Structure 1
Amino acid sequence: MKRQLRFWLVLIGIGSMLSCEKEQPKTLDLSQANIVISAQIKSPIQETAANILIEEIKKRTDLQLGLNNNWDSNTTIALALANEKELFGTKVPTPEGDNASELKKEGYRIFHEHQGDKNTLWVIGADTRGILFGIGKLLRTAKMENGKITLNPNIDFSESPEYALRGHQFGYRNTANSWDAWTVEQFDQHFREQVLFGANSFENIPFQEANSSPHFKVDPQIMEVELSKICEKYDADYWVWTPAPHDLTIKNAHEDGLAEQEAFYAKCPRLDGVFVPGGDPGENHPAQLIPYLNALSEILHKYHPNAGIWVSLQGFNKEKVDYFFNYLDKESPDWLKGVVYGPSSPPIDLEREMLPKKYLHRFYPDITHTVRCHYPVDNWDQAYALTLGREPINPQPLMYTQLFNRDTKYTDGFITYSDGSHDDVNKVLWSQLGWDSKKNPKDIIYEYAQFFFGPKVAEDAAQGIFALEKNWFGPILENNSIKETLALWKGLEENNPDLANNWRWQQLIMRAYYDAYIQDRLAYEKRLEAEAYEILAKANTIGADKAMNDALQHINKADAELVSQDLKEKVFEYGEKLFQSIGAQTSVEKYQARSAERGAILDFIDYPLNNRWWLEDEFNKIGEFKSEAEKLARLEFIKNYESPGEGSFYDNISSADAKHVTSKTDDAIDFLWENDGISRKRLSTQLFQFTPTLEYNDLDPDSNYLIRVSGYGEALLRANGERLKPTKYEKGFEEFKEFPLPKNLIKDGKLNISFDKPDEEHLNWRKQSRVTDVWLIKQK
C-alpha cells in the first residue's frame, strides 16, 4: 500500500511539473499587447515613446498595438519610471538594491512578469531617456516578422551607460555625401534610430548658404532649427559646431561673429553645446580665441542658460597649448564647459592629464574616413585607396572596437565626426560601446542586422558585415575571403527581394560587388604590366621604339578589353538606388557630389591599378632621347624598377605587401592626393611614410650594398643607428638618393634602416619630406 501511495505521489509530482512547464511560454508573444504609459512621463516623451513602439512595430509586422491606460489585455507593455510605486493600480517592480541600473541616469530595466494568464513586459526607466533607451533594447532584441512580434520569456535585463555623452555629428551641408538631400522627416527617423541604439546627442553645422548645395530640399537656415526640434522630441542634446572667425585680430571680426551666433541661438528651441574648434579651421591664438569664447558664452546663456561652451586645441603648437592650460589653471573660468579632443590635438592622454578636473573632456573621433584622417584603415591595399577613396561604405566593427577602448577611456564621452550615411554601422557600434565598452561587437552587429533587416537574415547579414571588414585587411590578391563575401551577399540579395529598397542593405551589397570587382581588375592589370615588362626585355632585339609601342599597347588592354563588367554594372545599379533612397552622392558628375574626395566612389572605380599612365609619360620622355643607347638604358631601369636582382631588395613604403617595412603609418596621410585624385605618378610614388623603418636579415656580410631612396625632400637615413652620407641626393618626386652601406655595419648579416625627422613642423604636411621607395642593392 505504501509503495502504491509513493508511486501515485511521484506521478502527481511529475504531472505538476509538466503542468507548470506547459504554463511557461517558450516565447513571450507581444502581437496582441496593449501599451500602458505612466502619466509621470512628461510630454513630449510620452507621445514620442508611444509613437516609437507603435510605428516601429507596425513597419516590421503590420500589427497595430493598442494604447490604453488599463490592464484589460492579457499581454501588456508597461512604461514606467523607477521612482513610481504603482502604475494605474498595478505595482511597479521594485529595483533590486540602491545600485540598480534603473536608478542611474539614463538607465533602464526590461522585466517580464508572468502571473496566471497575464504577461506584463515592464520597461522601467530612471528618467525619460531611460524609457527611450529601454524601448530601443526591446525593439532591437524582439523577433519581428509579418503578423508577429515575440521576445524571449522571463527576461530581466538592465543597464546604464558607461559614458555620459554618446553622439554623432550630422552637418546639414554640401560637404556631407547624402544628408544635404534629406527632408526633415528623414532626419527625424534617423535620429530616432540612433536613439534606439543608445545615442543621446546630435551635432549640426549651421550657417550654411541656401545655394551651397544642389541637393537641399529645405533651406539650411530652417533645417538647423528643425533639427533642434527633433532633438527636443527625443530628449537628445543638440550641439552645433561653429568655428570662430578665421582671424580674430581683424577689426570687428569678433563682433560680427557674435552677432551671427546670437541670431541663431534665439531661434533654437533647444541648444545644449557649442563647440568652437581651435583649428581645422581656425588659426587664432588662444589670446584672441579665449575672449571670443567668453563673450560667446554670455550670449549663449541669454537664450540657453544650461548650454555649454566647448573648444578644441586642434593644430595648437606647444606655445599655444601652454598658454591655454596656464589660463585655465590661473583663471579657472566657469563659462567653459569642457575641451574637445580632435585630430591634431595634443595626445589624448596628455590633454586629459593637463585639463583641470572641473572641465569635461569630449572625444571627437573620425569614424567616417579611411585615409588622410584620424583613424586610417590599417594594412589597406593601395588599390582600395585609389578607388574607394576617403569616404566609402566602411563598416569596421572590429577595428573601431579596438580604437574605442584604446582612446575613449581618457574622455567623458564622444560625439563622432561623420560626413555621410556610409558609416552607419560604425555609428551604432560607437553608441553601444558608449553604454558598455566590454560589449561584444558581434552582439551589437547582430542587433543591428535584426532590427534593420529582420530576424530571418540577421545572423547571415551580421556575418556579411564582418566579412566586408575582412575584405579590407592586407593585400587584395592574397585575400581569399573577398569572393566568399560576395557569394554571401549575393545569396542574401537574391533571397530577400523585400529588402531591395532598404538603404542600409543597398550599401552593404554595393560594397561586396565593388570589392570583388577591384580584386578581379587588380589581378588582370598587374598581369598586363608584368607582360609589358617582358616586352621591354626584348628592346635590345626589336629596338627601343617598337618595344615601347608594343608594351604600351599591351598594358592598355586594361582600357579596351574589360573584365568582370557584370560586377561593375551591379555597383552602378546600387549607386542609383542609393541616390534615390537617401540621396547618396557617389559621383561628382552623375550625382553632384561635393568633390572627388566626398564619397565619389563611382568616379574612381576604373582608376588604373597598374602603372600604364606613368609608363605612357615615361615613354614620351624617352622618345625625346637622341641615342638608342640612352633609350635602352632607361627602359632597362624601368623594367627592373621593382626587381633589382638576386640578393637585392625593393619595398614600396606603406604598401600592404611590403616585405621589409616594420613601421606602420600613424600620420593618416600616407596615400598621396593630388589633381582631385587623378594622379599620373607611379603607383609607388603615391604611397609614403615620413619616417619609415625597415629590417633585413641574412645579408651577405662580405658584399657591398647600396641603399637607394626615392621620395620627396630630405631623407636623413640611419643604418643600424649610424647616419650615412649620400653620394647622390636628389629631392624631387621619382628622383633618387643613394647611400653606400659600410660592410662593418652588417657583420652579422642584419640591417635596420631608419630615418630621422627633419625640422619641418612649420610646413604643411604636403610640403614635408617623405619616403616612397627603398632599395637595398647588392653590388656586383
Structure 2
Amino acid sequence: MYRSLLGGFLFIVLSPAVAIAASTIDLSTATIVTDSPSPVVAKAAVMLQEELAERSGITLPIAKSAPADGVVIRLGTSADVSIVEVPQKPESYTVAVREKEVCLVGHDARGALYAAGRLIRLATYRPGILTLKLDQPIISSPDVPIRAHQLAYRNTANTYDAWTVDMYEQYIRDLILFGCNGVELISNLDANAKDGPVMTETMRSMNVALSELIRSYGIDVWIWSPVMAIEGEDVTTPEGAARAIALRRKFLEDYSAIDHLFIPGGDDGDTPAEHLMPFLEKLSVVLKEIHPNAKIWVSNQTFTLEENDYFFDYLTSNSPDWLAGLIYGPWIKMGWEEMRERTPTRYPIRRYPDINHTVRCQYPIPNWDPAFAHTIGREPVMPMPQKQSHIYRRYLNLSDGFGTYSDGIHDDLNKQVWNVLGWDPQADMDIALEEYGKVWFGVDLAKDVAEGLRGLEANWSGPIAENTAIPRTLALWEKIAKRVPDFDKNWRAQMYLFRARFDANVQAEARAQKGYEAQALAALADASQTGVSQAIESARAALAQADRPAAPALRSGLEELGPLMLESIGYQLSVEPPYLARNSERGAMLDWLDQPLNNRPWLEQRFEAILALPNQAEQLAQIKTILNWEDPGPGGFYDDLGTIGKYSHVISQHSWEEDPSGNHTSRVAFPNYKADAKTIAKQTGQTEKDDLAFKEEVARVAGAHTGRQELRGSWQTQITTLYGTPLKMRYEGLDPKAQYRLKVTYAGRFRPSMTLTLNDEFGIHGPVAQPSPIWPVSYHVPQAATRGGTLDVEWNLVDGRGCMVSEVWLIKSNDAGP
C-alpha cells in the first residue's frame, strides 16, 4: 500500500534560508512570482490570484521575476525554488516565510498547486485587506495517492447537469484547495445523448471539455463507464463484444485526457463476471492504444456469490497486468476485510464511498428518526463531519485512496472532509471546519459556520420530538445568513440555512401531526357511542388539520430559498418547473413538504374498508384492531423495528462504529414511500427500477407488484440484514409455563424470501415471501421453546438482497400448564 506514516502531518524543518515569522505579513501589495515552465504551476498562479481577489478585492500581479522591492509570493516546484526544503514524495509541498517572501514550493507541479491552495486557506482577507501570519513553516505530504470525487454531468445529479464549464472550474478549484487530485466523469456511449431537461450541452461534449479542464490543473481524469448498461448491449457473444469495443473506441478517441477507466461490475451494468473480465482485457488493448498511460479499474458491485468466486479466482490465476486495481463500492456482497483478504496484494483497492445519500445506500444514517427519513429524503443537504470522519478512518488501513460517489453539491462538506483526511487522517476536524467557514463565509464567520455545521449533524441524532439542537441550529444559521455578504450569491449559506429551516419544519410537523392522530384515535374510541360513520368523519377531520402547515413561516422561508439556490448553483429542489429534478429522491426536498408524518394515509384507506363492511359489529372489531395495534396484551412484547427506542429485542452483531455499512449486522431500512395527496392520486404503485439493483431481484419480482397499498408508519421502517447475515431477536424473562404466539409483519423493498427458526431448533416456517398486500401473520410458538424463560428468534435469507422485518409481537396467549 502507498500510505506513508508521515503523510499529511505538519512538522518544522528549519534551514538557514527559512526563518520563523512571528509577525503578520501584509500581502495587499505582494507580487506572485513564478518562472516555472510548468503550465500547471502557471494555472496555480492564476488560481491563487483570482481566489484571493474574490475574497479581498485585491488583484495581485503575476510576474516571472521579483520586483526590486516589496513582498513576494514565490510559487514553484523544488526544481524552481531551491531555498526551501520539500519532502521527496509526490504532491508534497512547503509553505514558508523568508523575510519578505512567502514561499509556496511543491515537490512537483501538483505540490505547487496544493501549496497555493493552502495559502488561500491560511490567509486572512476582508475587503481591502490581505494578510498572512505563519509562525512556522508548513511541510506536508498526502497520506493516500488517490483523492478524487465524482462530478457527473448527468440527469441523476441534483445540480451538476445545470452547470456550465465555468461553474465546474470553480468547483474543481474549491476541491483542490483542500487536496483533491482527481475528478471522475460519467461517460455516455451515445455521442448525442442529452438525458436531462436542464442540460445545455450533450453529455459527450461537456465531458470532453471537462476532461481538458481537469487535465489543465494537472489532476487525474477518471471515467466511470459501465458495460451492458444500455439496451441491447451484450458482450457475452463474440459479435456483441466486438460491437461494444467499437462503440467504446469512438468515445475514447473523443477524449483528449483519460487517466483511469472505472468499470463497475453492477449498479449500473449487468455483465456476468465470467464475461466481464475477458471483455475488459480486450478493451485494455484499445485503451492503451488511444491513451497509453490510462489504467483500468473494476468493482465487483452486485456480483453474486458465484461471480465473486470466479472474479477472485481469475485475479489469482491470471494476475492480469492490464488491471490497475479494484474498487470497493456500494452493494458489494462482502465486507472490507474479506475484500482485502481475497484481493491479491499486487492490486490496490480504491474506495468508492457513497457520501451523498442517507437511506437506501452504503452508509445509512444511524439512529435516524423516521420523520426525517420520510421527508428530508435520500439526497438532502447533509454535512456529516463526525460520521464521515469515522467512516474514513474505520477502513483506512484496508484501502489505498478514494473516489467518492456524489450526485450534487448537497454533500459539499463531506467531500472536503474526505479531502482533508486523505491528506492527514489525524487532522483536527474543528480546524478544518473553521477553514471551510473562513474560505467561503469570511474570517468573521468561520467559528459560527463550524458550529453550525456540527449543529446540522446533531439535528439528526435521536428522536426528533425531543431534539433540542434543532431550534438552536436554526437560530445560528439565521444569524449567519444575515451577516453573509452577497447572501443571494452564496449557495453554501443558502443551502445550510435551507437545511436548518427544513429540520425545524419537520420537527414542527411531526409534533403537530402526532397530536392530530391522537385526536383521531380518540374519536374512533367513541365509535360505539357516536356511531361508526360519525367517528370516522371526526377522525378524518382531525387528521385533515395537517393540510395546513404547522409552521407557516418556516415553510414560506423554505420556498423563498428555492429560487435563490436554483439561480446561484442550479439546485433542483423539485421535479416541477422551474427546477426539473429527475425524481423526488434526487434532492427534491420541496416535494416532500406535504409528506404525512403520522398514519393518516393508512388510516384513511382503512376507513374506506371499514365502511364497506356489512355490519356495525365487524366495523367496530376493525376499529378495535386499529386502536390496539401495538398492544401485545399482558405479558407480551411489541417491537416496531426501525423506529428509535421501539426495537429493544433486536440483536446487533456489531455497533455502528464497528460496521457503519451494516454489512455484517442489523441496520434500519426505509422504503421510498411518498404519500402526499397528490402522489397518492396519481401513483400507479409499480416497482421502481432503482429498487432493483441486483440481477436476482429483477428476475424474481418483475411485474409482481401493482396497485397501491398505504403503509402504516411501522411498515415504513424495517430492520434488515444483508447478504446472508441472519436477523436475530432475543426475549428474556418469559413465563416458562405460558403459551406464546409470534405475530410478524413482513414488509420492505427487498421483498425477500426467508425462513424463521426459534432457538436454533424449532423451524417455524420454511421459505416464505413477503405477503402482498402487507398484513401481519401469526405463528404458534412451541411451549418447549420458551420453557427456559428465553426465546431466540432468527430469520435467514433464502432469496433476495437481505432479510427484512417491520413488526414483531410476542403475545402471551394462555397458561400452558405444567
TM-score (norm: length of structure 1): 0.89
Equivalent-residue separation in structure 1 for 2:464 and 2:546 (angstroms):
18
Shift of 1:249: 2.2
Q: What SS class does the counterpart of residue 372 from structure 2 fall into? A: helix
| Per-residue Cα deviation, 1:677-722 (whole angstroms, up to 9, x for no partner) | 8672112112112454344555555554433211146664445555
Unpaired segments ≥5 residues, structure 1? 1-22, 87-91, 96-100
Instruction: Kindly provide the amino acid, as one letter, of the partner of residue 342 in structure 1.
Output: G
Which residue of 1 is the match for residue 74 of structure 2? Answer: 78
Looking at structure 2, the residues matched to 160 and 415 of structure 1 have their Cα atoms a distance apart, in angstroms, of: 19
- 2:559 match: secondary structure: helix
Aligned residue in 2 for 1:201: 182
Instruction: Give yes or no for contact 1:693–1:752 (8 Å, CA) kept in 2.
Output: no
Query: Which SS does the other structure have where 1:387 is aligned?
Result: coil
String of CA shifts for 1:318-358, please: whole Å, max 9, x gaps.
32222222222222221111111112223222222222222
Letter paired with 2:207: E
Aligned letter for 2:743? R
The CA deviation at 1:647 is 4.2
The separation in 1 between residues aligned to 2:243 and 2:21, in whole angstroms, is 68
- The correspondence for 2:124, drawn from 143, 154, 160, is 143
**Does 2:809 correspond to 1:775?**
yes
Judged with a 3 Å threshold, the aligned counterparts in structure 2 of structure 1 residues 256 and 25 are, in CA distance, closer, same or farther, namely same
2:113 equivalent in structure 1 = 132
Cα deviation for residue 300 of structure 1 reads 1.1
**Correspondence 1:709 to 2:706:** no
Residue 245 of structure 1 contacts residue 253 of structure 1 at CA under 8 Å; is this kept in 2?
A: no
State whether residues 183 and 220 of structure 2, in contact with CA within 8 Å, keep that contact through their aligned partners in structure 1.
yes
CA contact (8 A) 1:239 1:272 kept: yes
Residue in 2 that maps onto 1:11: none
The answer on whether the counterparts of 1:137 and 1:197 sit within 8 Å (CA) in structure 2 is: yes
Structure 2: give runs of 5+ residues left out of the alignment: 1-19, 653-660, 681-708, 721-725
State the alpha-carbon separation in 2 of the partners of residues 746 and 158 from structure 1: 65
In the other structure, the counterpart of 2:7 is none
Preserved contact between residue 715 and residue 755 of structure 1 (Cα < 8 Å): no
- Counterpart residue number, 1:62: 57
Task: Write the distance in 1 (CA, Å) between the matches of 2:124 and 2:21.
Answer: 18
Give the secondary structure class of the aligned counterpart of 1:757: strand
2:91 is matched with: 106
Superposed CA deviations along residues 638-678 of structure 1, whole A, max 9, x for unmatched, are 01112345543322111123241444683678111257986
Residue 576 (structure 2) aligns with: 589
Q: C-alpha offsets along residues 259-300 of structure 1, whole Å, 9 cap, x if unaligned?
A: 222222222221101111111222322332122211211111
- CA deviation after TM superposition for structure 1 residue 30, in Å: 1.6
**Within 1, Cα distance between the matches of 2:70 and 2:621?**
89
Match of 1:352, SS state, is: helix
Correspondence for 1:681: 711
Residue range with higher mean Cα deviation, 235-244 or 442-451 = 442-451
TM-fit CA distance, 1:518: 0.3
Q: Kindly provide the amino acid, as one letter, of the partner of residue 160 in structure 2.
A: W
State the match for 2:701 in structure 1: none
Report which stretch shifted further, 340-349 or 713-722: 713-722
Q: How is 1:733-744 mapped onto 2 (pairs within 5 angstroms)?
A: 733-741=773-781
> How far is 1:756 from its partner?
2.4
Partner of 1:670: 669
Give TM-score scaled by structure 2 length.
0.85
CA–CA distance in structure 1, aligned partners of residues 733 and 475 of structure 2? 43
Measured after TM superposition, the shift of residue 460 of structure 1 is 0.4
In the other structure, the counterpart of 1:451 is 439
Aligned partners of 1:726 and 1:353: how far apart in 2? 36
Q: RMSD of aligned C-alpha atoms?
A: 2.4
Letter in 1 for 2:482: E
Letter in 1 for 2:32: I
More deviation, 338-347/707-716:
707-716
What secondary structure sits across from 2:642 in the alignment?
coil
Would you say the 8 A contact 2:727–2:795 is kept in 1? no
Three-state SS of the structure 1 residue aligned to 2:511 is helix
CA distance in 2, matches of 1:519, 1:752: 37
CA distance in 2, matches of 1:703, 1:692: 25
Q: In the alignment, which residue of structure 1 is the partner of 2:44?
A: 49
Distance 1:148 1:604 in 2: 44
How far apart, CA to CA, are the structure 2 residues paired with 1:331 and 1:771? 42
Q: Is 1:332 equivalent to 2:319 in the alignment?
A: yes
Corresponding residue of 1:632: 620
1:227 aligns with 2:261: no
Three-state SS of the structure 2 residue aligned to 1:556 is: helix
Change (3 A) 1:646 1:136: farther
Corresponding position of 2:172 = 191
Partner residue, 1:4: none
In 2, Cα distance between equivalents of 1:476 and 1:696 = 28
In 2, Cα distance between the equivalents of 1:36 and 1:479? 53
Counterpart of 1:70 in structure 2: which amino acid? A
Candidates 154, 166, 170, aligned match of 2:151? 170
1:77 Cα deviation (Å)? 1.1
Aligned pair count reads 733
- Amino acid corresponding to residue 59 of structure 2 in structure 1: Q
SS in 1 for 2:440: helix
Tell me how far apart the structure 2 counterparts of residues 85 and 396 of structure 1 sit (CA, whole Å): 39
Q: Which amino acid aligns with 1:163?
A: V
Distance 2:309 2:757 in 1: 33
Shift of 1:60: 0.5
Identity %: 36
Higher mean C-alpha deviation, range 195-204 or range 711-720: 711-720
Matched-pair contact (CA < 8 Å) for 1:653–1:692:
no
Q: Which residue of 1 aligns with 2:357?
A: 369
AA paired with 2:564?
K
Partner of 1:756: 795
Does the residue aligned with 1:777 lie in a helix, a strand or coil?
strand
Note if contact 2:72-2:102 (Cα within 8 Å) is conserved in structure 1.
yes
Structure 2 counterpart of 1:656: 644
Quote the residue 2:610 is aligned against. Answer: 622
SS at match of 1:240: strand
Quote the Cα distance in structure 1 between the aligned partners of 2:552 and 2:634.
Answer: 39
Name the residue aligned to 1:5: none
SS of the counterpart of 1:48?
helix
1:385-424 to structure 2, matched below 5 A, reads 385-424=373-412
Q: Residue 415 of structure 1: SS of its match in structure 2? A: strand
Task: Please state how far the C-alpha of 1:147 moved relative to its aligned partner.
Answer: 1.0
Partner of 1:523: 511
Residues 22 and 135, structure 2, Cα contact 8 Å, conserved in 1: no
Q: Does 1:425 align with 2:459?
A: no
Task: Kindly indicate whether the alpha-carbon contact (under 8 Å) linking 2:785 and 2:791 is maintained by their aligned counterparts in 1.
Answer: no
Matches for 1:213-612 after TM superposition, within 5 Å: 213-246=196-229, 247-250=234-237, 252-345=239-332, 346-559=334-547, 561-590=548-577, 591-612=579-600
Cα deviation per residue 1:120-143 (whole Å; 9 max; x = unaligned)? 111111100001111111111221
The answer to whether the Cα contact below 8 Å between 1:34 and 1:73 also exists between their aligned partners in 2 is no
Distance 1:211 1:611 in 2: 41
- Rounded to whole Å, the distance in 1 between the matches of 2:351 and 2:105 is 30
In 1, Cα distance between equivalents of 2:791 and 2:212: 60
Report the secondary structure of 1:252's partner residue. helix
**Distance change >3 Å, CA 669–CA 276, structure 1 → 2:** farther
Residue 28 in structure 1 maps to residue 25 in structure 2:
yes
